[in-house]
Structure 1
Amino acid sequence: MAGPHTLTETERRVQARVGGLPLDYSAMAVASNLFRAANAVRNHFERTVLSEHNLSWTAFVVLWVTWIWEPIETRQIALEGGFSKATLTGVLSTLERREWLTRERSANDGRLVVVKLTDAGRELMDGLFPAFNLQEQAVTSPVDPSKREELAEMLRVITAAVEPKN
């Protein structure tokens, strides 16, 4: 439950409020439930596996993106993570203080900043990600395992339709 009302209560209240309008209710249900599910999953990860390392969701995403793509420019981290450069700057400072990553000017273009994990940052991610995946398994456990790939593909289609084209 994200707020004081259950999902079912919220859907009933929405139907009562807007039921007379000519709307696509299935589209509304998909979009609102997608948003609610994403927030619930994010909060679950922060309360469980990420809290053990005093990490926010954004800090984890920065570490994850860097772990996968390093070395990586800060602007690419912001794009991959879906957050502003200002937010990224604060998170990078925190993670750098914890000695999990480093920032340095690009050798090719001094205006750009390149991020790399430290050995401690790689060790953190090597240990953290299997624990994170256990929580991924937990949050997807209500979905029949034979239908998870289909659900993942549906979410990919929605994401591709709304993400800015590069």
Structure 2
Amino acid sequence: MTHEQPDGDHLHFWSFIDYAIDRASRELPGIDPLAMRLVLTLHRAANMLVYDLESTVHRPRGWSWPGFRVLFAIWLSGPAEAKRVAELSGMSRAAVSALVSTLERDGLVIKARAPHDGRAVNLSLTDSGLRAIATAFQAHNEREQQWAGSLSADEQQTLIALLEKLTAHSVHFAAKQRE
């Protein structure tokens, strides 16, 4: 391997993908540049979309992206145990626990001991939390429509099918995922 310093002056968020593939291919000739491009592009697009939703819709409401995900999961699943909210939101139990403390302090969520297990915590939305998430999701979905608007309905369905195929295939190589 060489230890050349990259010329970072010409790079930006998207051009870095081409640069990274070129450089990695030279350094490690056996890599699969197409797989690398797929994963880098998917990761960057997802991060870009999440950052936009968080900064335009959720931060103005005082929420983080994870905070929105917790409220969204509770809203749609109904009152639920914290471990179920963690699973539905794709977050760790510890992260949900920390967020719930803030959301409870803000008057959006109520914590209560589960009747079947004194160690388990049930989470539900307050009336204020219900109004807040419903209003926020309206704005969230309007932004989703703006993002999706660059694709026709058929293209959206194709992309959904391809992403579902990609994620379903992960069972064949025991991909790690939150439980």
* TM exceeding 0.5: yes
Per-residue deviation, residues 46-97 of structure 1 (Å, max 9, x unmatched):
1101122111000000000001112111111112222222221121011111
- The change in CA–CA distance for 1:163 and 1:145 in structure 2 (over 3 A counts) is farther
Q: How do residues 79-158 of structure 1 correspond to structure 2 at under 5 angstroms?
A: 79-158=87-166
Structure 2 residue 6 is matched with structure 1 residue 6: no
C-alpha distance in 1 between matches for 2:178 and 2:51: 28
Letter in 2 for 1:92: V
Name the SS for the 1:83 alignment partner: coil
Letter in 1 for 2:75: W
Report sequence identity in percent.
30
Name the SS for the 1:110 alignment partner: strand
Q: How do residues 33-44 of structure 1 correspond to structure 2 at under 5 angstroms?
A: 33-44=41-52
4+ residue runs over 3 A deviation? 162-166
CA root-mean-square deviation = 1.8
C-alpha distance in 1 between matches for 2:19 and 2:44: 16
- Contact 2:54–2:65, Cα closer than 8 Å, also in 1: yes
C-alpha distance in 2 between matches for 1:158 and 1:141: 23
Q: Tell me which residue corresponds to 1:19.
A: 25
Q: Tell me which residue corresponds to 1:52.
A: 60
Name the SS for the 2:122 alignment partner: strand
Displacement, 1:132?
0.5
Displacement, 1:164?
4.4
Displacement, 1:163?
6.1
Letter in 1 for 2:74: T
TM-score computed with the length of structure 2 as normaliser:
0.83
C-alpha distance in 1 between matches for 2:78 and 2:120: 14
Name the SS for the 2:118 alignment partner: coil
C-alpha distance in 1 between matches for 2:176 and 2:24: 28
C-alpha distance in 2 between matches for 1:124 and 1:163: 33
Letter in 2 for 1:133: N
- Contact 2:57–2:139, Cα closer than 8 Å, also in 1: yes
C-alpha distance in 1 between matches for 2:13 and 2:134: 37
Name the SS for the 2:123 alignment partner: strand
Unpaired stretches in structure 1, ≥5 consecutive residues: none
